[in-house]
Amino acid sequence: MKRPANSFSCVLVTARFFDDKAASILRTAGLTVVTGGVAHDAVDAVITEDMHDALSRCSAWIMGMPPVTADLLARYPNLSVMARRGVGYDTIDVAAVQAHRRLLTITPGSNEATVADHAVGLMLAVGRRYFESHRRMQAGEHGVLVGTELSGKTVGLIGLGRIARLVARRLAGFDVRVIAHDPYLPDDVADLEGVQLASLETVLADSDFISLHAPLTDSTRHLIDQDALARMKPNAILINTARGELVDDGALLAALQRGRLGGAGLDVIGSERDASLEAITRELLTLPNVICTQHTGGSSREGLERANMRAAQCVVAALQGQPLPPDAIVVDGRSP
């Protein structure tokens, strides 16, 4: 096996829960794995001084969701490869990656099933009021809470990418009607069995459960705002396992406080990246019909192991000049 030159012998790993099997792939290729003494990045993504020190010594970086800016890339000219454990890259300046002639990879397919499971789980948990029931049992109250079935309902999917399609497949066993809106739907998905394509207005108006699976772009930021919430059914339940910024959390809080919605299951929230929204998050957490998880939708042991393995394989292949899986490359600025 061709081994990297000394200048390419160090890989910084800041993705949480990076396992020994993935690390062994890097070490077998002759790479030094730097994790000790380095703070793991977080979704609010402050790059600490120990991370800066490590970046100055490393040529590859396996990351979660830190901010990657033009200034950072200019500061570390030897950082040639960045492997994101995940599929989103909205914290990364992709144009700067291209301009600075670096390689950025992602890990599609690794945790899609995990996120789909989580989305359906949130539908059940909010609808059947699991959290409220648990807290009442803790308090010694044994009165029965009446919830809402998922069975027989209309579920609206906003975005119909790979995760949403897996959600639709899982919902097939619940005897639901699935409708979906995605203006960028590929032709090979247009006839997805069991899913009826619809306008955004129809999805908002007809759905008992709405699950968000859209990417974060300028056009989707606050897609679910005060107006969208007003068009939803009065008892509808909103599920978000995509990006927190798709929802105007202030408008969602107001709608829930007025009893305008049946509830919300949120794996992502706006305050992950905007500290000014923390007060709204605290208020959301006090509501009995809201269940929040800590952006853990893709964090099963199995999903993380797959993503770690894929990221490590991408780094080794890139540093050794070997082909990468086509769907793993977001941008390759190394070519002329």
The catalytic position among 84, 102, 273, 295 is 295
Element (H, E) at 203: helix 200-206
CA-based end-to-end distance of the chain: 27
Distance of CA 230 to the CA centre of its chain: 26
Q: Give the C-alpha separation, 15 to 33, whole Å.
A: 12
3-class secondary-structure state, position 11: strand
Query: Structure tokens of 5?
Result: 């030159």
Q: Give the C-alpha separation, 1 to 322, whole Å.
A: 11
Q: Is the dihedral of CA 93, 98, 100, 106 positive or negative?
A: positive
3-class secondary-structure state, position 281: helix
Residue 310 bears catalytic tag: no
Q: Give the C-alpha separation, 307 to 297, whole Å.
A: 13
Residue 40 bears catalytic tag: no
Q: Is the dihedral of CA 103, 107, 108, 112 positive or negative?
A: negative
The catalytic position among 102, 165, 213, 243 is 243
Q: Give the C-alpha separation, 325 to 106, whole Å.
A: 10
Buried residues in 250-259 as b, exposed as e (16+ CB within 10 A): bbbbebbeee
The closest of 47, 109, 101, 90 to 72, measured between CA atoms, is 47
Q: Give the C-alpha separation, 51 to 13, whole Å.
A: 10
In eight-state DSSP terms, residue 224 is B
Residue 134 bears catalytic tag: no
Q: Give the C-alpha separation, 196 to 234, whole Å.
A: 22
The catalytic position among 272, 273, 306, 310 is 272
Catalytic positions are 243, 272, 295
